[in-house]
Amino acid sequence: MYRTFLSWRYLRARLTNLIGIVGIAVAVGALIMILSIMTGFLEETKRTVRGNLADLIVSPAQDAQTSAGGPVPRDPRIALEVIRADPRVVAASARLVWYGLLAQGGQRAGTSRDVLTDTEAGRMMGAQLVGVDVLSFERFGYPLLEGVSRLMGWPFRAPLVQDDFDTTDLLLGLDRDPHPKRLGSPVEDPWNPFAPPRTGADIPGPKRASVIVGEQLFSALRMRRGDELELATVVPDPLTGRVSISNRKFVIAGSFRSGENAMDLERIYLERTELADFLGGGLAFSEILVKTQDYDRHGRALQVDLERKLAERGAIWWNGREEDLGAGGQVRTWEDFRRTLLGAIENERVLMAIMLSLILLVAGFTIFAILTMMVAEKRRDIGILAALGAPPGGILATFLLIGLWDALLGASVGALLGVQGALHIDRIEQWLSGVLGVQIFNRDVYFFDRIPAVVEPGPVALIVGGAFAITLCCAAVPAWRAARLDPLVALRYE
């Protein structure tokens, strides 16, 4: 009983103990906040990147010879058929990715001729042209038709409709509210995004195909929905191999917001068939996006299996070596695509945790210093306790308990502050930015508009446990010294 009673009384009697408690609280709080934010960054980045990609991406080596003897097919149908046949696959869709040029200025944009004749070369911008399948009519029309046919007794069965909406977060990007500080303008109907816009400038002349522009590009070039946009690109002739220039005018159907900066700054979506036509019809697809039922469970196995099946059907190139299958050549996971980025964030997270653990160590040393001073101060008390019948183990426990109170109070307050701080980090950042007059979190730099924070019980428990372990280790040395103190030397200490 005296151990708890005396340790608590000694803790309250010395103000210096508060320094140790505050030290632990700050260390635990900072560690929890930083780790939660870094975990949030990682999770949010993964989510954004994964959503904008797909679970698996098949990128056949174009023009390479397949095991079937011929070149890799320019049409995605065989590959799609093979992939969709796998029960672990939820959906698969084809994409065509190419690069083009556009002149800055929105409705004032110069034509591609101006760009190419260098009159506006200084204002020229590169753009990633992504041709996607959005089968709006088929998605709604086929089930309707099947329903009518059933009523009429006709033998019509709706074919499988799978498009980019089934494999990626494209629909989410189209439907998302525009960024408050940008001038985005979402498409009129996200389910039918390439429908010609009803609003916007009335452009005379032939009907143009629609494009959807990344919000940052849209905003930077002061575009408006309904504006005309002229794109230029270079296309290799499949027969002669010569490069020719192609340019075409499109109408802007709106903007999309993926949340990934690079994408929002340079990507333009258009219908795959339209892009293929723009490129002269030589290319129909460049990659196939695959959505799996359970990526964490099947992802890697499916990667190998699909690569083998596609190679056997002659849909991708294969050197015939079994060990090369699944090496991330033509069938890659979304993590393979962003390995460097995710690895960098994970590294930062680990480094931050290690560096911030040093604060905890410093707090532990503070406890060590405070308790060492206290043992020196309390030499006489230790002698009295021994004379009254307290065994050395009891004296050790008394001083160890002071460390335990320090850890308990410090870690509890720290955990509370850390968790609350992480959960309200956005408000804290805004308040701090206002007070300091400096923008602490630049929302234009990252994928996301708010500071993401994910509080996981595991790391919080680990940090709190670590704080206890370090504090008790640091308290054990002075407590052990107190227990070994000769009671007579202590009693003579006046």
Closest CB to other proteins among residues 190, 383: 383
Q: What amino acid occupies position 181? A: K
- The answer to the question of residue 423 lying near other proteins (CB under 8 A) is no
Closest CB to other proteins among residues 10, 337: 10
Round to whole Å and give the CA distance between 405 and 472: 10
Among 97, 327, 369, 491, binds other proteins (CB under 8 A): 491
Round to whole Å and give the CA distance between 310 and 316: 6
Nearest distance from residue 386's CB to other proteins, in Å? 7
Number of residues in contact with other proteins, rule: CB under 8 A? 26
- The answer to the question of residue 206 lying near other proteins (CB under 8 A) is no
Three-state secondary-structure class, residue 136: helix
Closest CB to other proteins among residues 4, 293: 4
Task: For the beta carbon of residue 140, count every other beta carbon within 10 angstroms.
Answer: 13
Closest CB to other proteins among residues 29, 487: 487
Closest CB to other proteins among residues 7, 168: 7
Task: List the Cα angle 205/210/216 in 5-degree steps.
Answer: 120
- The answer to the question of residue 480 lying near other proteins (CB under 8 A) is no
Question: Long-range contacts: 187-192, Cβ < 8 Å, 24+?
Answer: 187/212, 187/225, 187/253, 187/254, 187/255, 187/256, 188/225, 188/253, 188/254, 191/136, 191/139, 191/140, 192/134, 192/136
Round to whole Å and give the CA distance between 245 and 243: 7
- What is each CA distance from 25 to 45, 167, 191, 409, 419, in whole angstroms? 30, 45, 51, 8, 12
> Quick one: angle between helices 457-484 and 339-377, nearest 10?
30
- Please report, as residue ranges, which positions from 394 to 413 form the binding site for other proteins (by CB under 8 A): 394
- The answer to the question of residue 13 lying near other proteins (CB under 8 A) is yes
Structure token pair of residue 373: 């001073």
Among 274, 307, 381, 406, binds other proteins (CB under 8 A): 381
Round to whole Å and give the CA distance between 310 and 329: 13
Closest CB to other proteins among residues 34, 390: 390
- The answer to the question of residue 390 lying near other proteins (CB under 8 A) is yes
- The answer to the question of residue 487 lying near other proteins (CB under 8 A) is yes
Q: Considering only 5-13, 354-362, 406-414, 433-441, which stretch makes contact with other proteins by CB under 8 A?
A: 5-13
Q: What amino acid occupies position 334? A: W
Closest CB to other proteins among residues 25, 483: 483
Among 7, 10, 44, 109, binds other proteins (CB under 8 A): 10
- The answer to the question of residue 15 lying near other proteins (CB under 8 A) is no
- The answer to the question of residue 392 lying near other proteins (CB under 8 A) is yes
Nearest distance from residue 437's CB to other proteins, in Å? 48
- Alpha helices of 313-424 — where are they, by DSSP H? 334-337, 339-377, 379-387, 392-423
Q: Considering only 127-135, 179-187, 207-215, 378-386, which stretch makes contact with other proteins by CB under 8 A?
A: 378-386
Closest CB to other proteins among residues 172, 384: 384
Give yes or no for a contact between 279 and 244, defined as CB atoms under 8 angstroms apart.
no
- The answer to the question of residue 376 lying near other proteins (CB under 8 A) is no
Residue 242: partners with Cβ closer than 8 Å, 6 or more residues away? 236
Give contact residues for other proteins (rule: CB under 8 A). 1-2, 4-6, 9-10, 13, 380-381, 383-394, 487-488, 491, 494
